[in-house]
C-alpha cells in the first residue's frame, strides 16, 4: 500500500537508480491530509537502490510550492513490481491525472540529468518552480507598473474556446490510505472485466 511519508520531502536518487519515471501531463485538484486542497502535478517514480526496489508517488502542490511523498510500504520484488507500479498509476489516474511515461532509462545521460533538474520531485527547494505570473505579481507589488493590451479579436477567440470547451470543476480528491486501497480494488475489478471481454 502507498502511504504518506512525512519524513521524505523529495526523492534523492541518481539517474542510474531510476527504473521508471511517470509524470502527469495535467493538473488536478487534490486534498491531502494536513494540507489545503490545491492544484497539483503528480509523479510516479520507481528506484533500484542496490537491489532494493522502491516506489513513490510525488504530489507537487503548486500554490504553496509543497512536495508531498507517498511511499509503497510493502516489499517490492521482481514478481510484484509491475502490479505495484500499475496500482500507483491507476490510483493517480483515478484522481484525474493523465500520466505519461518519460521512458527515462532510454534517454541519453545528459537528457536524464536535465529532466531531473527540471522536475520538482528531485529538489528540496521548490522556489524555482514558482509560477511566472506569481513572480510578476510580486514585482508589481514592489512598484512596477505593467500595461496589458488585449485585442478584440483575441477576446472573441477566448470566448469561443470558453463557450465550446467549458472547464469542469472537480471537487478536491482526498488522499487517504482507504481511498488508495479502494481505487486499487476498483481497477483490479476493471482489469478482470476487460480480460473477460477479451475472451469473446
Q: Does residue 148 belong to any structural domain of this protein? A: no
Q: Please indicate, yes or no, if residue 165 is contained in any of the structural domains.
A: no
| In the predicted structure, residue 72 carries a pLDDT above the cut 80 | yes
Render pLDDT for 13-31 as a digit per residue (tens, 0 to 9).
999 999 999 999 999 999 9
- In-domain check, residue 150: no
The DSSP call for residue 122 is G
- 166 in any annotated domain: no
pTM, full prediction: 0.70
Q: How high is the pLDDT of residue 131? A: 74
Q: Which residues pair with 199 in a beta bridge?
A: none
Q: What residue numbers bound the domain in which 183 lies? A: 2-126+172-198
The vertex-168 CA angle with 32 and 95, nearest 5°, equals 35
Residue 162 lies inside a defined structural domain of this protein:
no
The count of structural domains within the chain is 1
Q: pLDDT band at residue 130, thresholds of 50, 70 and 90?
A: confident
In three state form, how does the secondary structure of 42-96 look?
EEEEEEEECCEEEEEEEEEECCCCEEEEEEECCCCCCCCHHHHHHHHHHHHHHCC
The verdict on residue 153 lying in a domain is no
For residue 137, being part of any structural domain is answered with no
- Please indicate, yes or no, if residue 53 is contained in any of the structural domains: yes
Element of type H or E holding 24: strand 18-24
Amino acid at each position: 500500500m502507498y502511504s504518506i511519508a512525512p519524513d521524505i520531502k523529495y526523492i534523492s536518487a541518481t539517474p542510474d537508480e531510476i527504473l521508471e519515471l511517470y509524470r502527469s501531463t495535467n493538473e488536478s485538484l487534490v486534498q491531502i491530509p494536513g494540507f489545503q486542497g490545491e492544484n497539483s502535478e503528480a509523479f510516479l517514480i520507481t528506484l533500484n537502490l542496490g537491489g532494493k526496489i522502491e516506489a513513490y508517488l510525488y504530489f507537487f502542490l503548486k500554490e504553496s510550492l509543497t512536495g508531498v511523498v507517498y511511499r509503497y510500504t510493502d516489499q517490492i520484488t521482481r514478481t510484484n513490481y509491475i502490479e505495484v507500479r500499475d496500482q500507483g498509476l491507476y490510483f493517480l489516474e483515478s484522481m484525474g491525472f493523465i500520466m505519461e511515461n518519460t521512458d527515462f532509462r532510454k534517454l541519453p545521460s545528459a537528457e536524464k540529468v536535465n529532466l531531473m533538474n527540471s522536475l520538482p520531485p528531485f529538489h528540496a527547494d521548490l522556489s524555482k518552480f514558482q509560477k511566472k505570473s506569481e513572480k510578476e505579481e510580486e514585482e508589481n507589488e514592489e512598484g512596477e507598473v505593467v500595461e496589458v493590451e488585449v485585442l478584440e479579436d483575441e477576446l472573441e477567440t477566448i470566448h469561443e474556446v470558453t463557450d465550446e470547451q467549458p472547464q469542469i470543476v472537480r471537487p478536491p480528491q482526498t488522499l487517504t490510505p482507504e481511498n488508495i486501497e479502494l481505487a486499487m480494488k476498483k481497477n483490479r475489478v476493471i482489469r478482470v472485466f476487460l480480460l473477460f471481454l477479451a475472451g469473446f
